Chain A
Amino acid sequence: MTSSRLASSADLPPWAIAAALALAALSFILLAFEMRRRERGGGVILVSGVLAVVALLVAVLRPVRIAARESTVGARVLLLADASRSMALPQPGGGTRADARDRAIRTLFAHANGARFLVQGFGEGAGAPLDIGSPVATASLARRSDLAAALRAIEASPEERPRALVVISDGRLDDPPEGASREALRTLAGTLGVPIHTVATTRDAPKDASLRRVGTAGAAVAHVPFPLRVEVGCAGGLVCEDIPVTAREVREDGPPALLASGVVHVKDGKGAADLTVTLERAGTRILEVRIDAPAGDTIPENDRRLITVDVSRERVRVLHIAGRPTNDVRALRDWLKSDASVDVVAFFILRTKSHDPLADPNDLALIPFPVDELFTEYLPSFDAIVLQDFDAQPYGLEKHLPALARYVRAGGGLIMVGGPNSFVGGGYANSPLGDARGVLPVELDGSSHATASDPVAFDPAWTEQGRVAPLLAPLRTVVGDELPQMPGGNVLGDARPGTVVLWSHPTRKSPSGSPMPVLAVGEQGDGRTIALGVDGGWRLEFSALGARTAGRGYGALWDGLLGWLMRDPRFEPAQLEVLGGCTAGLAGTLRAHLLPETSDAAKQPLTLDIVRVDRDPAGTKTLPVHREVPRDPSGATDIALPPLPAGAYVSRLRVGASGSTRHDFACEAGGDEWADSRPDGQRLEAIADASGGRFVWADEELSQIPMPSPTTVSAERHVSPIAPPWVWTVLASALLGAHWIARRRGGLA
């Protein structure tokens, strides 16, 4: 489009034009004032005066003609579409809230008024371009709906500022929160200086009873009861009164363990219950909190939440049981007692029935060994059990070995330390600790001709895995490759699958023909176990090597062993995380942060195994995931995860020879976004009201939303003066002279 117009000379600043116009106006006033004093010739004076002032003004302004080729550019309008998981909830009348959102966006497109629309989805952090109607957009990925963060990102962006904002959402936002003040809402758009129009996709809440919030007060500490506040809501006209609620701990081995249960009394659509739960194991634990929703509930997915709880540990509680006092027992006890982070409960067998102390019982400082009490009532309260040279049979431990195996599989730690009464010699071979499904990391010979121990002294040999295992790194720092000579050892069988053998016997072979394990570590269910088939560990303190190293090797060994048993991050070969959390049905990424490896180990691939550990309510079997990926030299290796159904999972990453590490995580269909299924149109209305925008329901006429006018842009411009400046000057001079003559003739000065 081509246009033409007049303008003043471009070299005049706006103030000069204003001053000239003001002087011209003043001249007209003076002229009118003087006309009253004329004697004659009023018409000539007036006309000549007016012409002279106009000519003078034109001489100053020097008019030019501007010819331009122009185009109209629509205003930039940003549509912020809610891309959170709540938009995947069903919409009354069919479809989802995301469908209603996309319809609204298309309707706005139809009423564009030339506006340039940019559609961004908001959820977590800055908004991202949203391709409406695509399967990805329909899935609504984000686990949060943070409108404030998206607006802050727009404000900080160097791109062209929008002239209007339109938010399309169900109103169930994380930020701004429910009940935010008008002042807070007014500052939402920051310095953008534009109104925020809002479109609410959903009017009515679905019939739904849900776990709206599961919260803990403070940190969860192992063995310490902590409150779990469960908030339940009922909406959409669903009749709710008393709703039972349960909290269970999901365990890899066996069904979830019931931790607490209660009843939520629902009044005015909401209610809460405070449960007290105690988690015995530290680390990442997954709680399943579930309500029994009344009939008519339309969204069963939010009746169950899988909560990941990071359980810390004040002190490691260790039960140390020794079959008899020896130098090895002394060394371990002294180390355990020297560590302020370890709380030791110890029981040593100081006398058996075959020993006669020649004293009245009241003269003895002996107490009964409370085996039944320890292994029934108190067993879960310990983080680790150390059985050192302890014969299971004479002291009634045999009948508790099934419970001990269950304790391990439920997440407890077990260390069996060698001695004549350990392993085969202690009667563990055919027990739940040492049989075919036993929890010890090595097999034990349960035959009648089994050899329990080998009294020939030997120097333990480091295995390749032992050399790179993080848990023995502190010991290797102190002693290097050297280990003290051991005064014989227990005869152990082959390592079980998944076991890492750290030391082996230099000459003895296991039944499979491989070097006999001397120190081996393994995982069973949620727990970990260690087999140390010698009773000469104390020689890391008292020996020539001990003297050279000031006895530090013993503490370094046990620091690593107990630390690994307790999943101390220092001794894990890698740290795992699911990037952005896991959303059911969507592919994800698991990132492994790895410790530096030796060059040989770095070439070995990483092996990831993921198994589902909760029971699928639908009874569907979830296949385990197995991945082998090359190690990324940067130290962080990303492993693609397939879409997983909602549930609790255990991932195990085997890192070359360094052993394996574990990470528990939960996948939820909706998570927090589905916890409260009610739409919140009022909040959207308040946002629009506070910023001067317009609120509209998606099923109303969306043309009510005012769109900003388009902007005209000149593409090509020609400026030409109407006449040269001297012409205007001469004309003004002539007219001024004529006016002077007319004034003189009229009797004016």
Chain B
Amino acid sequence: MTPRSSVSAVSVIAALLLVASIPKPARAFGDAGAFDPRVLLTGDETGAAHPSAPASWSSELESRTSAPARHRPLHVRADEGALTDEPFVYWSGTSATPPLTAGEISGLRRFLSLGGVMFVDDAAPHDDGTPGSFGLSARSEIARVVPDTTPISIGTDHVIFRTFYLLRRAEGRVLGPRTLDAVVRGGKALVVFSEHDVGGALARGTGGVWELSVTPGGYEQREQAIRLAVNVAMYVLCSNYKDDQVHAPYLMRRRALVPGSGTVP
């Protein structure tokens, strides 16, 4: 072995030792604080409308942002005590949901009173963007949970549209309306309604292939749907962070650069 190669070998070994000695951080101490798109189950539901969507949501979030996410999202029933174990639930469906039981209503009220956030995704909206049977029934059931508040339309002026990406409109598997609806209390969106089947745009089959095509179609629409999902997750984890004054000049400048952006029609 030449002196030069000896030096190289020692250097490599030293580098390996150095790398080995770096403290290895745990991942969020067991994922407990990570974003978890928990699937909310009511009635006799057994899973999300698109079962692969929650994990895909976590995967997209982790690959695009610094936010940790649970790779195997949990399922939780609305009348379970565990509903209040985390601050987010994802409720989706393709058909009309049966009326919530008293226990489910009570559980959801407790969850929302703690500041929990709920994303209600209509997995079968009409192509013209009007709510499907799940969307309509979910709205009426949520109205029973929070009878004192009616959903309002939220557009690009709401922080959800800029928590990570600057979004021009809401999009999902279905193009749907430009806005989302939300039950807002104390300035915070507690329940966000989507008529876009965001989960459908996220769902992936075996090998990572998209399960469903988007309507009317195109790579850009799916990308926008993923971005909306990322933004919702970031809203859950950062709350209204992007409403802080320190961000305002940057975001206003960038909004000005985005064609077609502006107020919600």
Instruction: Show the binding face of A for B, using Cβ within 8 Å.
Output: 323-331, 333-334, 337, 344-352, 355-359, 362-367, 418-421, 424-425, 448-455, 457, 486-489, 534-536, 538-539, 541-544, 546-547, 550-551
CB <8 Å contact, B114 and A551? yes
Question: Which chain A positions have C-beta within 8 A of B251?
Answer: 365, 367
Q: How far is the CA of A328 from the CA of B32 in the complex (A)?
A: 10
The reply on B206 being an interface residue by CB < 8 A is no
The reply on B85 being an interface residue by CB < 8 A is yes
CB <8 Å contact, B244 and A346? yes
Majority-rule SS of A interface residues: loop
Extra contacts, 20 of them, besides A359-B165, A544-B81, A551-B114 (Cβ < 8 A), are A325-B66, A325-B238, A326-B33, A329-B237, A331-B87, A348-B238, A350-B238, A357-B65, A362-B166, A362-B258, A363-B165, A365-B162, A424-B23, A451-B23, A453-B26, A453-B29, A454-B26, A542-B84, A547-B110, A547-B114
Within 8 A of A (CB), among B220-254: 223, 227, 234, 236-242, 244, 246-247, 250-251, 254
CB <8 Å contact, A425 and B23? yes
CB <8 Å contact, A546 and B84? yes
Q: Please, which residue of chain B has its CB at the minimum distance from the CB of A534?
A: B29
Most A CB contacts (10 A, CB to CB) among B21, B24, B242, B244 go to B244
Q: What are 18 sample pairs from A and B whose C-beta atoms fall under 8 A apart?
A: A325-B35, A325-B65, A325-B241, A326-B33, A326-B35, A327-B237, A330-B238, A331-B87, A344-B244, A356-B63, A358-B64, A362-B257, A363-B166, A425-B23, A450-B23, A457-B30, A487-B29, A542-B116
Q: How far is the CA of A324 from the CA of B61 in the complex (A)?
A: 12
The reply on B163 being an interface residue by CB < 8 A is yes
Q: From A362, A424, A487, give the contact of B32 (CB < 8 A).
A: A487
The reply on B25 being an interface residue by CB < 8 A is yes
The reply on B67 being an interface residue by CB < 8 A is yes
Q: How far is the CA of A389 from the CA of B50 in the complex (A)?
A: 33
The reply on B136 being an interface residue by CB < 8 A is no
Q: How far is the CA of A496 from the CA of B241 in the complex (A)?
A: 35
CB <8 Å contact, B110 and A325? no
Known A330-B236, A350-B234, A551-B115; judge A355-B66 contact (CB<8 A): yes
Q: Report A393 CB to chain B, min CB distance, Å.
A: 11
The reply on B86 being an interface residue by CB < 8 A is yes
CB <8 Å contact, B165 and A452? no
Closest 8 CB pairs of A and B: A488-B29, A487-B32, A420-B25, A325-B237, A452-B23, A326-B33, A448-B21, A547-B84
Question: Which chain A positions have C-beta within 8 A of B30?
Answer: 455, 457, 487-488
Q: How far is the CA of A542 from the CA of B117 in the complex (A)?
A: 12
CB <8 Å contact, B33 and A367? no
Question: Which chain B positions have C-beta within 8 A of A331?
Answer: 87
Within 8 A of A (CB), among B127-172: 162-166
Q: Report A322 CB to chain B, min CB distance, Å.
A: 9
CB <8 Å contact, B239 and A330? yes
Q: Please, which residue of chain A has its CB at the minimum distance from the CB of B30?
A: A487
Q: Report B40 CB to chain A, min CB distance, Å.
A: 15
Q: How far is the CA of A538 from the CA of B237 in the complex (A)?
A: 12
CB <8 Å contact, B114 and A334? no
Question: Which chain A positions have C-beta within 8 A of B213?
Answer: none
Question: Which chain B positions have C-beta within 8 A of A539?
Answer: 32
The interface bits of chain B over 191-229 (1 if a CB of A lies within 8 angstroms of the residue's CB, else 0) are 000000000000000000000000000000001000100
The reply on B34 being an interface residue by CB < 8 A is yes
Q: From B223, B227, B237, B258, give the contact of A330 (CB < 8 A).
A: B237
The interface bits of chain B over 30-46 (1 if a CB of A lies within 8 angstroms of the residue's CB, else 0) are 11111100000000000
CB <8 Å contact, A362 and B86? no
Q: How far is the CA of A337 from the CA of B110 in the complex (A)?
A: 22
Q: How far is the CA of A65 from the CA of B244 in the complex (A)?
A: 104
CB <8 Å contact, A327 and B257? no
Question: Which chain B positions have C-beta within 8 A of A543?
Answer: 84-85
Q: Please, which residue of chain B has its CB at the minimum distance from the CB of A347?
A: B246
Q: Report B193 CB to chain A, min CB distance, Å.
A: 21
Q: From A344, A364, A534, give the contact of B166 (CB < 8 A).
A: A364
Q: From B26, B65, B86, give the contact of A455 (CB < 8 A).
A: B26
Within 8 A of A (CB), among B66-114: 66-68, 81, 84-87, 110, 113-114
Question: Which chain A positions have C-beta within 8 A of B162?
Answer: 365
Q: How far is the CA of A712 from the CA of B101 in the complex (A)?
A: 104
CB <8 Å contact, A333 and B87? no
Most A CB contacts (10 A, CB to CB) among B86, B241, B250 go to B241
Please give the number of chain B residues whose Cβ is less than 8 angstroms from any Cβ of chain A in the complex. 53
Question: Which chain A positions have C-beta within 8 A of B247?
Answer: 365, 367
Q: Report A434 CB to chain B, min CB distance, Å.
A: 13
Q: How far is the CA of A348 from the CA of B115 in the complex (A)?
A: 20
CB <8 Å contact, A452 and B26? yes
CB <8 Å contact, B29 and A455? yes
Most A CB contacts (10 A, CB to CB) among B26, B114, B166 go to B26
Q: How far is the CA of A538 from the CA of B242 in the complex (A)?
A: 21
Q: How far is the CA of A212 from the CA of B190 in the complex (A)?
A: 62
Question: Which chain B positions have C-beta within 8 A of A351?
Answer: 64-66, 164
CB <8 Å contact, B33 and A538? yes
Q: How far is the CA of A449 from the CA of B17 in the complex (A)?
A: 11
CB <8 Å contact, B66 and A350? yes
The reply on B27 being an interface residue by CB < 8 A is yes
The reply on B28 being an interface residue by CB < 8 A is yes
Q: How far is the CA of A486 from the CA of B32 in the complex (A)?
A: 9
Question: Which chain A positions have C-beta within 8 A of B24?
Answer: 452
Question: Which chain B positions have C-beta within 8 A of A454?
Answer: 26
Q: Report A116 CB to chain B, min CB distance, Å.
A: 76
Question: Which chain B positions have C-beta within 8 A of A486?
Answer: 29
Question: Which chain B positions have C-beta within 8 A of A328?
Answer: 33
Question: Which chain A positions have C-beta within 8 A of B244?
Answer: 344-346
Q: How far is the CA of A365 from the CA of B243 in the complex (A)?
A: 11
Q: How far is the CA of A135 from the CA of B32 in the complex (A)?
A: 72
Q: Report B120 CB to chain A, min CB distance, Å.
A: 20
Question: Which chain B positions have C-beta within 8 A of A355?
Answer: 63-66
Q: How far is the CA of A425 from the CA of B22 in the complex (A)?
A: 9
CB <8 Å contact, B26 and A542? no
Q: How far is the CA of A352 from the CA of B244 in the complex (A)?
A: 21
Most B CB contacts (10 A, CB to CB) among A325, A346, A351, A536 go to A325
Q: From A352, A367, A453, give the contact of B246 (CB < 8 A).
A: A367
Question: Which chain A positions have C-beta within 8 A of B68?
Answer: 324, 326
Question: Which chain A positions have C-beta within 8 A of B85?
Answer: 542-544
CB <8 Å contact, B33 and A366? no
Question: Which chain A positions have C-beta within 8 A of B236?
Answer: 330
Known A330-B87, A348-B241, A455-B30; judge A364-B67 contact (CB<8 A): no
Q: How far is the CA of A517 from the CA of B244 in the complex (A)?
A: 34
Question: Which chain A positions have C-beta within 8 A of B223?
Answer: 358
Q: Please, which residue of chain A has its CB at the minimum distance from the CB of B82?
A: A544
CB <8 Å contact, B25 and A453? yes
Q: Report B16 CB to chain A, min CB distance, Å.
A: 13
CB <8 Å contact, A542 and B65? no
Q: How far is the CA of A527 from the CA of B257 in the complex (A)?
A: 45
Question: Which chain B positions have C-beta within 8 A of A326?
Answer: 28, 33-35, 67-68, 237
Q: Report A491 CB to chain B, min CB distance, Å.
A: 9
Q: Report B238 CB to chain A, min CB distance, Å.
A: 5
Q: How far is the CA of A452 from the CA of B164 in the complex (A)?
A: 30
CB <8 Å contact, A535 and B242? no
CB <8 Å contact, B238 and A489? no
Q: How far is the CA of A489 from the CA of B237 in the complex (A)?
A: 20
Q: How far is the CA of A180 from the CA of B251 in the complex (A)?
A: 64
Q: Report A645 CB to chain B, min CB distance, Å.
A: 48
Q: How far is the CA of A39 from the CA of B227 in the complex (A)?
A: 149
Q: How far is the CA of A424 from the CA of B81 in the complex (A)?
A: 36
Question: Which chain B positions have C-beta within 8 A of A542?
Answer: 84-87, 114, 116
Most A CB contacts (10 A, CB to CB) among B23, B32, B84, B238 go to B23
CB <8 Å contact, A325 and B67? yes
CB <8 Å contact, B66 and A349? yes
CB <8 Å contact, A365 and B166? yes
Question: Which chain B positions have C-beta within 8 A of A347?
Answer: 246
CB <8 Å contact, A334 and B64? no
Known A324-B66, A542-B114; judge A366-B29 contact (CB<8 A): no
